[in-house]
Every structure is written in C-alpha cells, then in structure tokens.
Amino acid sequence: MLRAGAAEIDITPEVGRRIPGQWLRRFSESVRDPLLANALVLAAGETRLALVSADAISLKNTLVADAREQVVRRTGIGAENVLLHATHTHTGPPATDVLGTESEPKAVAQLAAAIAEAVAAADESLRPAKLATWSGEAPNLAFIRRFRMRDGSVQMHPPKGSPDIIGPEDERDPTIAGFHVWDDRGSLLAACVNFACHPIVVGTAPFYSADYPGGVRRALTRQHGEQATVLYMNGPCGDVGPDDAADPGVRRYGEEWLDRIGSGIAGFAVGYAAVAEATDDIALRSAVAHVRLPLREVPVGLVEEAEARLREQDLAVPPQDVELIRLWEALLLHREREQQEFVEAEVTAMAVGDALLVGLPGEVFTEFGRQIRAASPFAHTLVAELANGCHGYVPTEQAFSGGGYETWLARSSKLVPEAGALMVEAAKAAIAQL
C-alpha cells in the first residue's frame, strides 16, 4: 500500500542579493514570483523515496552532501533513496558559482537546510495515496538552440533568420513524462512533471523568479487546487531552449512567455494524467551507479595567457569582464585538474511502479535523454538533469567538433567528450540493478 507526503518551502532570498545565471554579476531589485523547494516522499513497505525540486540554477556538490546528511539524520531515509534536483532557473538564489557570480556561503547553507526541512515535513505528513504514471509528447514548447553555420561553426542562439544558418545541430525532443499522486479523498497531493527546456525566459531580469517552472506550478494548482505540491524536474536541456531561431516572427522571451510555456507544459500534463489509471499497488526501488569522468586538459598556451592576464587579479573573486572570465575559468580548471584529473559522478535510478526516474549530475544534452529512454524497460521514463550535484555541461561528441559556448573550457564545461556516453552507461547499470 502506497503512502505519500509532500511539502513546499519558500527559498526566496532577500532583495539585494546576487542572482547567478549570466556572465556578469547581477543583484536582485525585486521578487517577481517566489522560489520554492518542493519535496515528495513516497513510502511502500520498508522503502521510502525522497524527491526534491528546488528553484536554483544548480546544486553544488557540497550542498547536496550537506542536505542529504541532514535528511538522513532527520528522517532515516537512506542517502541512496534521496534525489535532489535543480530546475535550472537563471533567476534563482546565489547558492552556486556561475561564471562571473560567486555563491554566498549563507545562501548555500540556507538552501541545504530548506531542502532537509521540506523532506522532513513531507515525511511527517505521509498518508494513504494512489499514484498514476503517464508520458507523451508536448510539441512546440522547446527547441534546439545550437545551429550549424555556413562557416563550419556551431552557434548558440544565432540571429533569427540569419542567412548563415544551415540548420539545428540536433533534433528537439518533445517527450513529457511524470506521475500524479492522489490522497485518499481524491485530491491531488503532488505531481512530478519532467520536460526539457532551458529556464531562460526571463533569464536576464534583475529579479528573483522560478521562470517557466513556476508557471507550470501555478497552472497545475489552478487546475487541481492550492493543496497540490508540484515538482518540476527539468530534462536534459543543455542544448534546448524556449526560442526557435528558425522562426524570425516570434521571440519567446519575457513574462508573457513565462506563463504561456508554463501553462502549455501543465496542460499536457493534465491531459495525460486524466487518462492514466491510479493505483496504490506501487513498488518502490532505487539504485545508484558511480562513474569516473575525466577532466579535459587545458592547453599550455591558454594557461600561460591566463596567468599573464590575471597576474593582478584576486583569483578568489571573478573578474567582471567576459574575456577575462573565460581566461579565469580556464585557469581555475587547470588548477582543479592538477589536484585531480577526474570527478566521481553519481547517477541515480528510481523505480516508481511502472515509471523510471533517472537523475544525471550535469547540464546534459538532449541526445542522452533519448538514449536512456531507449534503453529503459519501463512504461514511462523520466530523465532529470542537474540531479544530486553538477559537473557542468555534458555535450555530445558531435558538439565538440562544432564548438560553441557549451564546449568552451571552463569549470562549467570541463568533462571529456566521452563523458555523456559514460553517464549513459552508468544509467544503464543503475537501471539493471532495478
């Protein structure tokens, strides 16, 4: 018999603090909509699974370790049964180091504590429940953002309608999947929705906002009631965004599109869930696979240039110049690699009845989501990026041949071209354990 509990905690920082997500440092001037940490605990027999979706650009690996330790201490749920996900909003709290914006230790500690508090509250509210799994397609809501150009390069967000565009580097993936949890009174207790699209609809704004994932939540609670807790889990969206460079007539950015995209995703979720059968006969399982991912080597010439240009720079503080940030990042990556030439990454797989949830710790390209779903024996497969930490962009090997922002050497793009294939193999190994 299934039991479930859910909780929601506001994690919006005070106005005036930093906003990571752009090249240069920004400070918030207002709050457009609240940032949340949403938690769902599922229990069946002796097994409990804890899922969290937090409105942040990513979750530092140290933050994940801290939050998990607090969850284990407060609830007794095993660390391997905890999946912590960042929605990747570019207007979230200063809890992550991103290019020219450094994290604030206070914000990191606050977010870890809030995640643990949300899980503890969800665990304390466990009650009889039924769960319905579903999947389908949500077309025309996300588009490939990397395009092959006539000069042989690949460009992210090229000028709309440019005659130099040959075509998108890859194909978009409209897959949407999730599950709805109903309490014993027939009210929606929680919904988990998985779709891939970069949350940059209002990404340059000087305010805190959950971006379109907040729009998904608002649309679903309008449909099902404020008691519903909505976990939006972003799919592999490293090369996918809300705008279509091939369509010069429409620019899908701004506050109007925040709600239009959010409502569109929610509408598909409502439709698919409406015809899915709910049951309390749900088996829960989890498995973790660890994989060693090598770091790319920084060319000697680039290291020497960075050391010369940044000789007077305090390396603990990011410069506020785009070209200097690129050199600063390359130098920091070089020093990281001198300490250790690889990272130990964790890939998580959770079975929720006939649905599979796979968590990948990076900003993953959409091709790898397709590969994992193709290898999944489950009826419905959710693939969530930025889960249980982050090791930067995970492009395809094809993407490295074309170049572009996502492949530039930096702490946010430091893994070898084979890293994506290694993550997929780790996912398959975790799935096999289930």
Nearest of 305, 329, 307 to residue 319 by alpha carbon = 329
Q: β-pairing, 30-31 with 207-208?
A: parallel
Q: What share of the chain is helix, strand, coil (3-state, %, to 5)?
A: 30, 30, 40
Between 130-139, 313-322, 394-403, 422-431, the lowest mean confidence (pLDDT) is in 313-322
Pair 317, 257 in one domain: no
Q: For residue 425, what are its two tokens? A: 């193999």
119 and 219 co-located in one domain: yes
* Contact between 423 and 367 (Cβ < 8 Å): no
pLDDT, tens only, 361-378: 999 999 999 999 999 999
Question: In the predicted model, what is the mean pLDDT of residues 289-303?
Answer: 96
In a domain, 390, yes or no: no
169 and 23 in one domain?
yes
Q: Which domain holds residue 326?
A: 296-339
Total domains, the chain = 2
- 312, 187: one domain: no
Is residue 195 over pLDDT 90?
yes
Per the DSSP assignment, residues forming a β-bridge with 44 are 2, 47
- 163, 264: one domain: yes
pLDDT in tens, 120-151: 999 999 999 999 999 999 999 999 999 999 99
Q: 145 and 6 in one domain?
A: yes
pTM of this structure: 0.96
pLDDT the model gives residue 316: 84
Both 272 and 300 in a single domain? no
Q: Are 34 and 210 in contact (CB under 8 A)?
A: yes
Whether residue 289 is contained in a domain is answered as: no
Instruction: Give residue-wise pLDDT tens across range 228-262.
Output: 999 999 999 999 999 998 888 888 999 899 999 99
Taking the alpha carbons of 365, 367, 372, 376 in that order, is the dihedral positive or negative?
positive
H-type alpha helices, 161-297: 212-224, 255-274
Note whether residue 183 is domain-resident: yes
What is the mean predicted confidence (pLDDT) over 380-403? 95
For residues 301 and 256, membership in a common domain is answered with no
Residues 241 and 211 in one domain: yes
Same domain, 39 and 118: yes
Report how many helices (DSSP H) and strands (DSSP E) the chain contains, helices first: 9, 21
Residue 283 lies in a domain: no
φ/ψ of residue 341, rounded to 5: -90, 10
End-to-end alpha carbon distance in the chain = 20
